Amino acid sequence: MRIYIPFSNIWFFFLFFIYALILFFGSKNICSQFYIDVKCRYENKNMVYLTFDDGPDKKITPQILKILKKHNVKSTFFCIGKKAETYPNILKQIAEEGHAVGNHSYSHSLYFDFFGTTKVLKELEKTNQLIKQITGEECKVFRPPYGVTNPNIARAVKKTKMQVFGWNIRSLDTVKNKKQIMKRLQKVQNGDIILFHDTKEQTVEILDEFLSSYKQFK
Ligand SMILES: [Zn+2]
C-alpha cells in the first residue's frame, strides 16, 4: 500500500521554514502580540510615556530623577531585581518621587528567553516581592529583558497578572551618539512609549535637552 503525501518534501520544509521564521520574529518583536498582549502605544492620549530600563543604577538613576523633577515629569522605571536588592534606597527614591516601578526580571540573564516557565515565574515573583518590600507598592507592569516574548514567558506573566509593556520608540541610547538619538526623538508623537536606559551618562544629557524642547510636557 502506498501513502500519498499531498506536499512534496521540499514544500514541507519550505512551509516549516516560513513557520519557524514567523515564530522567530514574533519572539523578537515585542509588539507582535504573538504570545501575549503587550502595550506598545497609547491611542488618543495627550502625552508621551517615558520608560527607563535596567536600573536602578547608583550613579545614573539619581541624575535621571533630578532631570525629571526639574521638568515635573513622571515616568516608569523597569528595574532589575538584583540591582534593586543592591540599591534599595534608589528604588525607594524612584517610588517616593511619584514614578511607577516595573519588573524587568531578577537577573536580566542573557539566556532569559531559554528559561522554562517555572524559572521565569521565580524571577518575576522574586522581583515583585523586592519591589513590594522596598516601596510598599504592588508591581503591576513587566517588561521582558531584550523585549523577547515566547510561550514560557507568556505563561509565567499570565500567572502574575502583570501587564506587559513594550515601546514604539526606541531611543537606542545605549548604542547611538547624542546627535543620532536626538534625531530619532524628533518623530515622537502623543501616545508614544519611549524606551530609555538609566545606565548611561549620555541619557541624562539627552533627557534634559529632549524635555526642554518637547512642548507637550509643559
Ligand atoms: Zn533590559
Average pLDDT rounded to a whole number, residues 186-207: 94
Q: To the nearest whole number, what is the mean pLDDT of the chain?
A: 91
Q: How many angstroms is it from 180 CA to the middle of ligand 1?
A: 21
Q: Is 53 part of the annotated catalytic residue set?
A: yes
List, as one string, the DSSP characters of 6-55: SS-HHHHHHHHHHHHHHHHHHHH-GGG-SSS-EE-B-TT-SS-EEEEES-
Q: What is the pLDDT of residue 156?
A: 97
Compute how many other C-beta atoms are within 10 angstroms of the C-beta atom of residue 126: 17
Q: Using 50, 70 and 90 to split pLDDT, how confident is the model at 218?
A: very low
Q: Which is more confident, 85 or 27? A: 85
Q: How many angstroms is it from 53 CA to the middle of ligand 1?
A: 5
Q: What is the pLDDT of residue 19?
A: 77
Q: What is the spatial distance between Cα 191 and Cα 205, in angstroms, rounded to a whole number?
A: 23
Identify the structural domains of the chain with CATH numbers, from first to last. 9-217 (3.20.20.370)
Q: What is the pLDDT of residue 217?
A: 47
Environment of ion ligand 1 (residues, CB < 5 A)? 53-54, 145
Q: What is the spatial distance between Cα 80 and Cα 85, in angstroms, rounded to a whole number?
A: 9
Q: Measure the N-to-C terminal CA separation of the chain; round to a whole number of Å.
A: 78
Q: What is the pLDDT of residue 7?
A: 61
Q: What is the spatial distance between Cα 167 and Cα 84, in angstroms, rounded to a whole number?
A: 22
In this predicted model, what pLDDT tens digit does every residue of 11-46 receive, in sequence order?
Answer: 777 888 877 777 777 677 788 777 899 999 988 788
Catalytic residue selected from 57, 197, 198, 208: 197
Main-chain phi, psi angles of 178, to 5 degrees: -55, -45
**Whether residue 113 has pLDDT greater than 50:** yes
pTM: 0.88
Q: How many angstroms is it from 59 CA to the middle of ligand 1?
A: 17
In this predicted model, what pLDDT tens digit does every residue of 125-143 receive, in sequence order?
Answer: 999 999 999 999 999 999 9
Q: How many angstroms is it from 3 CA to the middle of ligand 1?
A: 51
Q: How many angstroms is it from 54 CA to the middle of ligand 1?
A: 5
Q: What percent of the chain has pLDDT over 90?
A: 76
**Whether residue 148 has pLDDT greater than 50:** yes
Q: Which residues of 180-190 are buried (b: 16+ CB within 10 A; e: fewer)?
A: ebbebbeebee
Task: State the residue for C-alpha cell 515585542.
Answer: 30
Average pLDDT rounded to a whole number, residues 1-15: 71
CA neighbor of 105 nearest in space, from 161, 51, 147 = 147
Task: State the residue for C-alpha cell 516608569.
Answer: 76
Q: Is 99 part of the annotated catalytic residue set?
A: no
The answer to which of 3-17, 110-124, 172-186 has the lowest mean pLDDT is: 3-17
**Whether residue 213 has pLDDT greater than 50:** yes
